[in-house]
């Protein structure tokens, strides 16, 4: 938070108005699900959260496997099959 020195009452009103505007219209509040109070008031919260979830799911789907070494998918499949065979033998 920065210190704002207001020389006149009108300057104080402008500074407070700017703070309230920012708090209501631009700043996301964690207690409201990281949306602005104006979004909650106009009932846009659920729409915003759904859009964020969709973007997250698409991003994860696109990036799955980017950071795996080459051939690791094949190695994972082989190890899964080996585990399945061991569990069948134990029965």
pLDDT at site 62: 80
Give me the residues of the chain with pLDDT under 50, please.
Answer: 91
In a domain, 85, yes or no: no
- Specify the pLDDT at position 59: 87
Residue 28, pLDDT score: 93
Answer yes or no: is 89 within a domain.
no
pLDDT of residue 63: 77
Predicted pLDDT at 61? 82
Task: Determine contact, residues 46/34, Cβ cutoff 8 Å.
Answer: no
In a domain, 45, yes or no: yes
Q: 80 in a domain, yes or no?
A: no
The count of structural domains within the chain is: 1
Owning domain of residue 50: 7-65
The pLDDT score that the predictor gives to residue 5 is 86
Q: Does any domain span residue 83?
A: no
Number of H helices, E strands in the chain: 4, 0
Q: Measured between alpha carbons, how far is 27 from 12 in angstroms, rounded to an integer?
A: 21
Residue 2 lies in a domain: no
């Amino acid at each position: 938070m920065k210190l704002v020195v207001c020389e006149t009452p009108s300057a104080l009103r402008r500074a407070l108005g700017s703070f309230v505007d920012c708090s209501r219209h631009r700043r996301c509040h964690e207690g409201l699900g990281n949306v602005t109070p104006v979004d909650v008031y106009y009932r846009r919260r659920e729409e915003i959260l759904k859009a964020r979830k969709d973007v997250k799911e698409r991003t994860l789907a696109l990036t799955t496997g980017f950071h795996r070494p080459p051939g690791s998918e094949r190695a994972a499949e082989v190890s899964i099959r080996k585990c399945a065979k061991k569990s069948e033998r134990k029965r």
